[in-house]
Amino acid sequence: MSDYTLTKRAEADLFDIAVHGYRQFGVRQVEAYAAGLEHAFQLLADNPRMGRRADAIRPGVHRHEYAAHVILYEPVDGGVLILAIVHGRSMRRLAL
């Protein structure tokens, strides 16, 4: 099984998603959404070429949609580096 690592930016994104989700939808939905994201991270680690290339953001970056969010990551030896988790509506103003 391959590994995934989150950047500080990705960790902050997860925190923001959890806070917003808790306020809007409650603890059960936050827990379910977080579990789904973690499953997606592991899926990407095991299949790093699964996502679409997103070289317009930065060369080497890939993207994978999960529900309302886009996971931005780079394949690395032994898995993936999760760069950010961005709401789909925010993709236009993204800066990494």
Residue with tokens 């953001």: 57
**Structural domains present in the chain:** 3-90 (3.30.2310.20)
Per-residue pLDDT band at 96 (split at 50, 70, 90):
low
Tens digit of each residue's pLDDT (9 = 90 or more) over 36-92: 999 999 999 999 999 999 999 999 999 999 999 999 999 999 999 999 999 977 666
The alpha carbon of residue 1 and the mean position of all alpha carbons in its chain are separated, in whole angstroms, by 19
Q: What is the pLDDT of residue 51?
A: 96
Contact 57, 96 (CB under 8 A): yes
Contact 26, 33 (CB under 8 A): no
